[in-house]
Structure 1
């Protein structure tokens, strides 16, 4: 009987896609990519932090219907690397500790309630939901078996990620533990270009300084030669 159950379990197919789009609009997509990529950068040197976006998470072996695809999830204690899906029983049974969802006009209350119960039941420690249209950020923190709402999200620091959320009247900003703002891909490229231009200007200034020193050296050499022609030792002046 045990052998038959194992064979049945092995035959279960766990799809890598649920057929749903990653995002419904450009704003939602931009926020998903920004949070996911900045978290990748934040933990780039930690080989045991896995960050993924829109990846199906299967928490229960043998049941391919129990699943969610968080917009972004972070798993501490699992190695980086490509995966078609996150099968928890193949990952030392470690669930994602932090999950982000970005709302779009197409999100329905029933669907969001189902996600909340899923994350609460299967071990998520921190759950954040951001509505970019209304600029509303809600967070929950695990307490025992429950996810309890965080009373104030402005200036909240994630216990796991150590990132800080700053919520103004019209915008959300997220900062790394070092105080660096989470930037979009375009903003990161603009920052890199500014750094490249600054480095080029520094190089040009250094080249100009070297050129001026060389001209001074040549003038000094010419003057020394002229003095020697007149029988004057420049070293004794």
Structure 2
């Protein structure tokens, strides 16, 4: 009996780029880099904490239209590997637990509302939205509940008191009391820009060089003193 073969399903392609720029201006880009790089530094010794910036996240296998590219995302339980995109079904179905978005003048309210719905729907535990022009930080935390209920069954609830809030997942603290957001590591060290880190390293290098020069000068003075003692018939080793 002749059987009709079902047509082969075309392979779904998951593009690595959505064609949109990473940022709209220098301020937004600077904040993305500061948060991403400092989180990378914070978890540098943790092999299974993946931190990325502007990486497309596909939560549903077979659908390349459902996607988002958080400005910064953190996935606990996933290795530090290069990726063209974060395809969740290839990541033990682990959704990024923490995401950050940095507002720019080009972002619309509708766009940001859609992002919040996306993060709520697909399992993000902590979502932080920062407007550097207004120094306004908002945060959402997924509500708890019974262990018998899947984590994504609970909703992202707004964090009412965000100033001095400490992220449950990251352990970092947010301070919005000044002119701009300050973020502190669990050890109290403030998140720093690349320029600040470079300046700090340069200062440490200069201090090390100065200490080395002082040690060399002290050694030279000791050698000269020893020579004078020998010239006077005194053994410096006797002291």
How many pairs are equivalent? 225
Q: Which runs of 5+ in 1 are unaligned?
A: 228-233
C-alpha distance in structure 2 between counterparts of 1:216 and 1:150, whole Å: 69
Q: Deviations over 1:6-63 (max 9, x none)?
A: x537x00000000011000000000000000010101111110000000000000000
1:176 alignment partner, one of 156, 178, 185: 185
Report the structure, 1 or 2, having the larger helix content.
1
- Residue 4 of structure 1: CA displacement? 6.1
Q: Look up the SS of the partner of 2:233 in the other structure.
A: helix
C-alpha distance in structure 2 between counterparts of 1:8 and 1:168, whole Å: 55
C-alpha distance in structure 2 between counterparts of 1:85 and 1:174, whole Å: 27
The aligned residue for residue 8 of structure 1 is: 9
The aligned residue for residue 91 of structure 1 is: 91
C-alpha distance in structure 1 between counterparts of 2:33 and 2:27, whole Å: 10
The aligned residue for residue 50 of structure 2 is: 50
Residue pairs, 1:117-136, within 5 angstroms: 117-136=117-136
- Residue 224 of structure 1: CA displacement? 2.4
RMSD of aligned C-alpha atoms?
1.9
Single out whichever of 178-187 and 208-217 deviates more from structure 2. 208-217
Residue pairs, 1:73-222, within 5 angstroms: 73-144=73-144, 145-222=154-231
Q: 1:4 to 1:29 in 2, by over 3 A?
A: farther
Q: Deviations over 1:182-219 (max 9, x none)?
A: 11111111111111111111111111111112122222
The aligned residue for residue 38 of structure 1 is: 38
Single out whichever of 161-170 and 19-28 deviates more from structure 2. 161-170
C-alpha distance in structure 1 between counterparts of 2:6 and 2:206, whole Å: 66
Q: Which runs of 5+ in 2 are unaligned?
A: 145-153
Q: Deviations over 1:75-133 (max 9, x none)?
A: 00000011000000000000000000000011100010000010011010000000000
C-alpha distance in structure 2 between counterparts of 1:71 and 1:132, whole Å: 14
C-alpha distance in structure 2 between counterparts of 1:215 and 1:68, whole Å: 70
Moved over 4 A (4+): none
Larger radius of gyration, structure 1 or 2?
A: 1
C-alpha distance in structure 2 between counterparts of 1:164 and 1:63, whole Å: 36
